[in-house]
Amino acid sequence: MTHRPPLAHDRSKPPSAGRRVVALTGGVGGARLLHGLAGVLPPRALTAVVNTGDDFTHWGLRICPDLDTVMYTLAGLSHEQRGWGLARETFHALDAMRRYGAEGWFQLGDRDLATHLFRTDALASGRSLTEATAQMCQGLQVRTRVLPMCDQPRATMIDTRAHGTLAFQDWLVRERSTPGIERVRFEGAPEPGPDVVDAIERADLVVICPSNPYVSIDPILALAGVREALSGRPVIAVSPIVRGRAVKGPLAQMIADLEGRPASARAALGHYGELLNAVVVEAGDEAGFEVPALGAATVMGGRADRERLARDVLDFAERHL
Amino acid sequence: MTHRPPLAHDRSKPPSAGRRVVALTGGVGGARLLHGLAGVLPPRALTAVVNTGDDFTHWGLRICPDLDTVMYTLAGLSHEQRGWGLARETFHALDAMRRYGAEGWFQLGDRDLATHLFRTDALASGRSLTEATAQMCQGLQVRTRVLPMCDQPRATMIDTRAHGTLAFQDWLVRERSTPGIERVRFEGAPEPGPDVVDAIERADLVVICPSNPYVSIDPILALAGVREALSGRPVIAVSPIVRGRAVKGPLAQMIADLEGRPASARAALGHYGELLNAVVVEAGDEAGFEVPALGAATVMGGRADRERLARDVLDFAERHL
């Protein structure tokens, strides 16, 4: 590709004030594309709106798995192989908690624990999740604006066929995502975070990251005013399904359970319906879309992969939207 | 000494059900004597009543410095030189908290953090401090019964000459116990812990450990019913002042500030007035007491020192009370 994408950051020029990108994201895959976007866009051009539907309380601490993955990934601190937590991590507190008889199924590292402690204490002191997140991002020298989708809790609940209704983390981690799914529901009806709708309305491009449509992106889309704000914006989505398989997590099985058809990029992105103006899928998965579809290398390892895909997405959007 | 102290545990015989010892204690010095007592008495013969007036909340966690020191010391896990926390410890969470801009003056280790997390979560779940402490002692295989002096918070406040009123930990740790003291006060008027008065009433001997009279033992004595229960029991106190100096902590300066005289074993133990039936002091400090006074080696290093002093205390009590 010789065409230089104008949305991407040209270091010889000042950032273009008119180019604003909002990325909607969940955990690992989305965080990686976000990391790529952060690498190729000027810092103030990028805002991440992050799912908080997986949030839960454990040992009395407020845990926000997707926010943490996003912060750690943008800070270059995440454990890449494991897909959760920090790269340099120890588990001394967890060992000690188990010794006291505390629940030990959710693995909290010692450095990671500071994130949950800081957040829990900040919330108890009356600061909002948005404020606490901004302060932690500053501490981690993350320059991308990271917005929790909302400040109040909104739990994603999984109605299973044989095990009743489970909170998402209980289903995913404790039950290892084995119970078959009948339905995904969102509890409560909180307002979107204070800057979420405004950021979307001002965006020149919205990127839906390669995250789980049902449990990572739908919780954002279901917030009051978000779909309305998106309907006027150019939206491009990157498929979380690659040649019929999820790169990570239980999405392939969820598509089979919820849609009654095999997992595919089309099935995953089809879930967004009219919202999309373009899609980026794994090369070979382009067929059958009603909007422009780019085939690319969507499975991201390190920084180079992430920035290359980010450039492909921005470039394709620039040409087609 | 050839006389074998009957209060001490003779492993060839079953524990004597009639011999019950209650120890009133604060932190390090008291915890060491308690460790010695636990080593020479059968487990069910010993109950520790522990000061909780130093307790405070930090990072949203309920921290009980004296309870922690007692539990860790009895479990053989405490850091002996440092005088607080655990021997094998790391500080990764603290480093991460500082990175977020959190207050870092109180050094919480990663394993230690589990204690405060477990306790805070237990209290939030409606369990009492007494119950949470019992569960943690079980996890640490501590067989001595460890009773917090009360379940509800009772803060020890320090009125200083130049810095106004400070919570005890703020004065001790943050201000390094430098502001001169005018008065020590206890906030609130909670009930003693559910088994505290009963344990004292059933005791064949009460040992006041070598802890700070003003901020470690007085908070226990000031609880409703405790002095009354003690008045009928044989009470022996071990001096926290050795040849005019405190083994650890700010006691010598506190005696000078509060009593207007130099620190001495007599000044320290004289604070307990009529309550005492016998005292144990450093050899050479015996003069001038109105009750039987044993000179002994009261500065304890390891286990052998602790058990020797415990035997000396029990033996002296057996002979004189």
> What are A44-90's pLDDT values in tens digits?
999 999 999 999 999 999 999 999 999 999 999 998 888 788 998 99
Which residue is listed with tokens 């106190």? Answer: B237
Q: Where are the alpha helices (DSSP H) in A237-294?
A: 251-259, 265-270
Tokens representing A258 are 């919820």
Q: Residue B58: how many CB atoms within 10 A of its CB?
A: 16
Nearest to B207 by CA among B290, B269, B115, B125: B269
Which residue is listed with tokens 């088994």? Answer: B195
pLDDT over 90 for what percent of chain A? 81
In this predicted structure, what is the pLDDT of residue B247? 86
Chain A residues lying within 8 Å of B99, measured CB to CB: 114, 139-140
Contact A294, A312 (CB under 8 A): yes
User: Which residues on neighbouring strands pair with residue A166, listed in sequence order?
Assistant: A158
Distance CA A185, CA A222 (A): 10
Distance CA A208, CA A33 (A): 10
Element of type H or E holding A63: strand A61-63
Ranges under pLDDT 50 in chain B:
1-6, 8-18
- Annotate A10-21 with b (16+ C-beta within 10 A) or e (fewer): eeeeeeeeebbb
Long-range contacts, stretch A248-253, CB < 8 angstroms, 24+ apart: A248/A28, A248/A29, A248/A83, A249/A27, A249/A28, A249/A172, A249/A177, A249/A212, A250/A172, A250/A177, A250/A212, A251/A212, A251/A213, A251/A214, A253/A177, A253/A181
3-class SS string, B98-166:
HHCCCCCCCCCCHHHHHHHHHHHHHHHCCCCHHHHHHHHHHHCCCCCEEEECCCCCCCEEEEECCCCEE
Return the axis-axis angle of helices A110-124 and A129-139, rounded to nearest 10°. Answer: 140
Contact B204, B42 (CB under 8 A): no
In this predicted structure, what is the pLDDT of residue B15? 36
Tokens representing A72 are 């750690």
Tokens representing B270 are 């004289």
Residue A6 has pLDDT above 90, yes or no: no
Q: Which has more confidence, A286 or B3?
A: A286
In this predicted structure, what is the pLDDT of residue B18? 45
Please tell me the distance in Å from A59's CA to the nearest CA on chain B.
6
In this predicted structure, what is the pLDDT of residue A147? 98
Contact A10, A196 (CB under 8 A): no
In this predicted structure, what is the pLDDT of residue B46? 97
Contact A105, A174 (CB under 8 A): yes
Residue of B110, B115, B140 lying closest to A90 (CB–CB): B110
Q: Do B113 and A111 touch (CB under 8 A)?
A: no
Distance CA A48, CA A292 (A): 24
pLDDT, tens only, A182-192: 999 999 888 99
What are B's interface residues with A at a Cβ cutoff of 8 A? 59-61, 89-90, 92-97, 99-102, 109-115, 117-118, 120-121, 124, 135-136, 138-140
Q: Is B10 left (phi over 0), alpha (psi -120 to 50) or beta?
A: beta
Question: Average pLDDT in the A242-269 region?
Answer: 93
Strands A165-167 and A156-160: antiparallel
In this predicted structure, what is the pLDDT of residue A109? 96
Half-sphere exposure of B30 (CA within 13 A, CB side): 30
What structural domains does chain A harbor?
21-57+143-320 (3.40.50.10680)
Site from A72, A106, A121 to mutate, B interface, most B CB atoms within 10 angstroms: A121
In this predicted structure, what is the pLDDT of residue A247? 86
Q: Do B111 and A96 touch (CB under 8 A)?
A: yes
Contact B244, B264 (CB under 8 A): yes
Residues 6+ apart with CB under 8 A from A218: A184, A186, A271
> Would you mind telling me the total number of residues written for chain A in this entry?
321
pLDDT, tens only, A213-232: 999 999 999 999 999 999 98
Residue of B60, B93, B102 lying closest to A93 (CB–CB): B93
Please tell me the distance in Å from A138's CA to the nearest CA on chain B.
8
Distance CA B316, CA B321 (A): 8
> What does pLDDT average to over chain A?
92
In this predicted structure, what is the pLDDT of residue A13? 39
Nearest to B237 by CA among B255, B258, B216, B211: B211
The secondary structure of B158-188 as a DSSP string is: EEESSS-EEEHHIIIIISTT-SPEEEEEE-S
Contact A128, A29 (CB under 8 A): no
Residue of A118, A120, A124 lying closest to B100 (CB–CB): A118
Please tell me the distance in Å from B16's CA to the nearest CA on chain A.
31
Does the model's ipTM exceed the 0.90 cut?
Answer: no
At A309, is the pLDDT very low, low, confident or very high (cuts 50, 70, 90)? very high
Residue of B nearest to A97 (CA): B114
User: Which residues on neighbouring strands pair with residue B242, listed in sequence order?
Assistant: B245
Distance CA A257, CA A234 (A): 30
Tokens representing B163 are 């810095």
Site from A68, A98, A110 to mutate, B interface, most B CB atoms within 10 angstroms: A110
